[in-house]
A and B are shown apart, each in its own frame.
Chain A
Amino acid sequence: MSVSSITELVAGKVYALHNTFELNGRISAYPEKARGFSPANCYLLIDEKAAMLLDTGYTAHEDAIIDQLDSLLDREMPLSIFPLRINEFMSVCNTMAIAKIFNVVECFSNVPNIEDWVEFETLRGKEHNPILKTTLLGRGEQSQVVLGDQRKIHVLTAPIRLISTRWIYDEASKILFSSDMFSHIWSDFENNPWQIGNNETDQVTDFKFVRSYLLNTRYWWIEGANTKPIRNAINDVYKRFNIQTIAPGYGTILRGRSHVERQFNVLDEVLKKLDRQNILPTYVPRGLER
């Protein structure tokens, strides 16, 4: 089972589409021993004449995501799709399903011919999928796309990443869409409100927890790595943009500048302590819990 919900981040402009999964040791994005529930988050950015969807979610949530989009969007509205992790199912599973129903006018990608990357069905006879127009974004550190007439969407190569990953900053909402980073807050309850507000307390984020989360997920390799360039790149993002909300690709959204400051500070402290100047790298076997 899965619980679906929508969080309005900015009325008429940004919505989070949450669809939960159970943490049962069988989710690659979370520590093997994590238990409880977390949402896969797709984000819908709406402007007057166009909309953009960041990530398309798992197949298990296809019907729910179509319903969520239907509740927010006219099917004729020009929609662009932007998978932030082109190689991960959580980002791409429903690209074709959405394109069959909504007016998908382009897909942003760092690879050409995105339909080659998001075709997961057997087509029989005369069946065919929509041809998707790919807007190729370079592999540089940052670029920019425009939603509607003038809404600036900044596209960043994720400053910390395991696989090909993009972060997005939306100037209009001051939201950083951080993909797999800052994704460490889950819940014992499936119907959790998947955001922590400006005046609410984040009872999870501290040095010990974030360190453990990184090392037990996709940043298993980072102990003893050269983290200085990574820290510098993260700090550049922090200084360059007026981030008021962090919206991860999975897990809980953090709203308010105080939460943003805390997240970046704790992450920086963890990466500093894990740097090769402070600790020697050692081989990390599969399944090592730290």
Chain B
Amino acid sequence: MKNGNSLPREIAPGIFWLGDCLEQQHKGMTYHSYNAAFLLIGDECSMLIETGHPKDFPEIERQMIEILSHNRPPLKHLFITHQETPHSGGLGRVLQNWPEITVHGDVADYHLAFPNHKSRLKNMEVGDKIDIGGRQLIAVEPVIRDLRTSLWAFDTGANALFPGDGFAYSHYHWDGHCGLVAEEAKSLDLKDVLAVFAERALYWTTTTDMNIYVDRLEELIADLHVEIVAPTHGLPVTDLAATMPKIREGLISEGSIIT
């Protein structure tokens, strides 16, 4: 997917969206999705959020080096939402190639997957903060998640939420959605693309009443005054008032698939 890759893209001041698309086959259709990473630029240092899919790490690293080369503060921290390899598969290579970096989040399992680097793992709990100068990254409740060890993060600089597996949906490559934010992808049918991910990766969301999770998600968004959502798999959301109702509709319909 390197040819024609639309990323990186600065989606808010100091937040760069990194990665590349992954093809997904679903019911005879070819969808694209992201296993994205984000580069957060502070006044004193920079932070990578997620490492991307193992296949994407060389491209993510190239994008990151290019962005940082423009007189930006050095990379010091990595935050990971959880242990699945499309989120954390590049962890070993980040630690190997960036010897000063520390890893933050719920750091379960990483000492077994990357035993040479266990001294650089720093555990976080909900409410813990990392200051990178002019902005903080706060660990927050992972409302929609898979592994019990998930954490989400919130950036105080741009009021951006990094929800990992929350807001997980594919997009239409054939309609030019790659690299667009959700509001720019006019033909994006969120009900359709949320269902693609639900069947393949978030099976549990098809078995339960998702109203309670969407209610809690909206509470979190309101409490934190979230203005932008930077999901690992979906397209970033820059207008919550416009897009959140569609997300709600899509997630709730997932919960009624299995009857």
Is A48 an interface residue when CB atoms closer than 8 A count as contact?
no
Q: Is the CB of B150 within 8 A of A161?
A: no
Encode A89-118 as 1/0 by CB contact (under 8 A) with B.
110110000000000000000000100111
Q: How far is the CB of A153 from chain B (nearest CB, A)?
A: 23
Encode A251-290 as 1/0 by CB contact (under 8 A) with B.
0000000000000000000000000100001110111000
Q: Is the CB of B145 within 8 A of A286?
A: yes
Give the size range of B's interface with the partner. 35 or more
- Asked, given contacts A162-B203, A162-B204, whether A283 binds B212 with beta carbons under 8 Å apart, the answer is yes
Q: Is the CB of A28 within 8 A of B108?
A: yes
Q: In the complex, what residues of A have CB within 8 A of residue B96's CB?
A: 121-122
Q: How far is the CB of B140 from chain A (nearest CB, A)?
A: 10
Is B149 an interface residue when CB atoms closer than 8 A count as contact?
yes
Q: In the complex, what residues of B have CB within 8 A of residue A27's CB?
A: 108-109
Q: Is the CB of B93 within 8 A of A120?
A: yes
Is B65 an interface residue when CB atoms closer than 8 A count as contact?
no
Q: In the complex, what residues of B have CB within 8 A of residue A119's CB?
A: 54-55, 89
In Å, the complex CA distance between A59 and B112 comes to 6
Give the size range of A's interface with the partner. 35 or more
Q: In the complex, what residues of A have CB within 8 A of residue B107's CB?
A: 26
Is A206 an interface residue when CB atoms closer than 8 A count as contact?
no
Is A217 an interface residue when CB atoms closer than 8 A count as contact?
yes
In Å, the complex CA distance between A285 and B152 comes to 12
Is B92 an interface residue when CB atoms closer than 8 A count as contact?
yes
Tell me what chain B mostly uses at the interface: helix, strand, loop, or mixed. Answer: loop
Is B259 an interface residue when CB atoms closer than 8 A count as contact?
yes
Q: In the complex, what residues of B have CB within 8 A of residue A59's CB?
A: 112-115
Q: Choose, from B66-74, B78-86, B245-253, the stretch at the interface.
A: B78-86
- Asked, given contacts A21-B112, A59-B112, A89-B112, whether A117 binds B55 with beta carbons under 8 Å apart, the answer is yes
Cβ-neighbour of A28 out of B55, B147, B203, B215 (below 8 A) = B147
By beta carbon, the residue of chain B nearest A230 is B207
Q: Is the CB of B216 within 8 A of A87?
A: no
Q: How far is the CB of A122 from chain B (nearest CB, A)?
A: 5
In Å, the complex CA distance between A121 and B106 comes to 22
Is B227 an interface residue when CB atoms closer than 8 A count as contact?
no
Q: Is the CB of B86 within 8 A of A281?
A: no
Is B213 an interface residue when CB atoms closer than 8 A count as contact?
yes
- Asked, given contacts A162-B204, A163-B146, A225-B208, whether A89 binds B259 with beta carbons under 8 Å apart, the answer is no
Q: Is the CB of B92 within 8 A of A120?
A: yes
By beta carbon, the residue of chain B nearest A136 is B25
In Å, the complex CA distance between A226 and B115 comes to 39
Is B209 an interface residue when CB atoms closer than 8 A count as contact?
yes
In Å, the complex CA distance between A276 and B112 comes to 37
Q: Is the CB of A58 within 8 A of B97?
A: no
Is B258 an interface residue when CB atoms closer than 8 A count as contact?
yes
In Å, the complex CA distance between A224 and B209 comes to 8
Q: Is the CB of A286 within 8 A of B148?
A: yes
Is A229 an interface residue when CB atoms closer than 8 A count as contact?
yes
Is B183 an interface residue when CB atoms closer than 8 A count as contact?
no
In Å, the complex CA distance between A139 and B200 comes to 9
Known: A89-B109, A226-B207, A276-B209. 15 other contacts (CB 8 A): A59-B114, A60-B111, A86-B85, A116-B55, A117-B54, A117-B89, A121-B92, A163-B147, A217-B148, A218-B146, A221-B204, A222-B207, A226-B258, A283-B216, A286-B151
Would you list the 3 A-B pairs with minimal beta carbon distance, nearest first?
Answer: A116-B55, A89-B113, A58-B112
Could you write out 17 A-B pairs with CB less than 8 Å apart? A28-B82, A88-B83, A88-B85, A89-B83, A89-B112, A89-B113, A92-B85, A118-B54, A122-B93, A163-B84, A221-B204, A224-B208, A226-B207, A229-B258, A281-B208, A286-B150, A287-B126
